[in-house]
A and B are shown apart, each in its own frame.
Chain A
């Protein structure tokens, strides 16, 4: 980040832009698929209760980066990381870290909705049940609360026992968000959560993200620059595995420091 200008020079900065604590600090992060390096020395501070957007052309490594934040890349064979990711000051790659616990604190929403083949209620209750967070009446309350937070409750309150696959794509995606919220995470990672949705569903999820920011730290990968500009507090621009620029969204989209960022956001490539 630029040491000279940032806070004062950001146009359109409002009171909501007060500095919050650093939730996750990523330093010197490299990522390798086998021998091929796909991320190069990425450094970002993700701040609490903000929306951080990651943009860049396909294959620039933004999804890979996002997936290292809850170690989802562990699932893929023959990959490894270098560098550190500190969650509230704790290294998530430390050998005694339990990935299951990490993922409870750092939840994830994927590109395509992934409803489990069970009822709407069971989908939301799933993680809470397995993690022993609630049962009986408390569980029903937690499910209802999570669905309300995901702005889905009104639409499905009479259909809770229906299979989740009977919902529309946009509803399914909000269901997946409710499912993540039900395990009470601190951070929510979203990997292009709207790319499979129509504009109306997209708008609903964007509104939802801004709502959720009150309580959660959100990192979203998106192809859609307007979306990043609309919802995020800060934006990082990735290009061929490098973080080119990271700044307040208001600054990055109006007055980028780097020529490559400018070219990308003005549509000259990508």
Chain B
């Protein structure tokens, strides 16, 4: 038998060069990918900090604040979560536990399509079915539009997370004389909770920054309102209005609003990461 020689000078050199080259390419690509994020954060801090003050959080536009938009965004998140989360979570549980059939495949496919529908189209849909009949832009309409957007994200992440729970854990609960449904709601969901919370937080982070579906549903407002049947302000819409206006003071406000919005989303994403970390510790 001929042995493969351990020293092959030319080949070794060529492999080393190829290796180094690929390594450099990967690093460069990674850097390029994070440059836009770095620039966004840089400009937001540069332009947003000057107008950042306590007033920004506690005052209305007349006194240079965005209290109404911050509260508006929270109200919209509350409305959309109130129905988007239950539907999304239950849908995900159904798909993971009972969805290995045709119905499941259809629902899964539909959820994937819904996830890729442009958000403005969802806004138009809600405009047609909620705003037009009542002749009234409203927080409710905005919340419905955002809630519809949450459903597919929450459904699919919940499904994935529940599927990752080992079958042995389900069987262990069943073998204690526990019904299928109770097993799901006590053991399976507990085991998958970290991942499910991550999915929920990411879905909220996603809708918190949406503008298009709110344009003709929640509409926007310069006043503080928490009525669900009245137009309501939101951070993204307020930023859009200020940024497209003629006044420098409003431009500055828009930058600060953007800084606050991005910070909010970063906090949600960080919380999502933290939740997942807890999950990997609990599930073996």
**Taking beta carbons and an 8 Å cutoff, which residues of A are in contact with B?**
70, 72, 75, 77, 100-105, 107-108, 110, 112, 114, 116-118, 126-127, 130-131, 163, 165, 176, 179-180, 183, 185, 189
Contacts and interface: CB of A to CB of B under 8 A. Distances in A.
Given A75-B170, A116-B187, A70 B175 contact: yes
Given A107-B175, A130-B182, A114 B168 contact: yes
Interface string B159-178: 00000001111111111111
B177 A110 contact: no
Given A110-B172, A116-B169, A131 B190 contact: no
Contacts of A131: 176-178
A100 B178 CA distance: 6
Contacts of A114: 166, 168-169, 171-172
A117 B282 CA distance: 6
Contacts of A127: 173, 176-178
Nearest to A117: B282
B58 interface: no
Contact of B282 (A102, A103, A163, A180): A163
A100 B175 contact: no
Contacts of B191: 116-117
Contacts, number: 79
B284 interface: yes
Contact of A130 (B166, B171, B178): B178
B interface, size bucket: 20 to 34
Contact of A117 (B171, B175, B190): B190
B178 to A, nearest CB: 5
B283 interface: yes
A64 to B, nearest CB: 14
B73 to A, nearest CB: 34
Contacts of B173: 116, 126-127
A77 B99 CA distance: 13
A251 B151 CA distance: 64
Most buried by A among B174, B176, B282: B176
Nearest to B176: A127
Most buried by B among A75, A117, A163: A117
B174 A126 contact: no
B179 interface: yes
Contacts of B284: 165
A72 B171 contact: yes
A179 B168 CA distance: 15
A209 B51 CA distance: 72
Q: Which 7 A-B pairs have the closest CB atoms?
A: A104-B177, A127-B176, A108-B175, A114-B172, A117-B282, A103-B177, A117-B191
Contacts of A72: 171, 174-175
Interface in B170-201: 170-179, 182, 186-187, 190-191
16 contacts: A72-B175, A100-B179, A102-B177, A105-B177, A108-B175, A110-B168, A114-B169, A114-B172, A116-B169, A116-B173, A116-B191, A126-B178, A126-B186, A130-B176, A179-B176, A180-B176
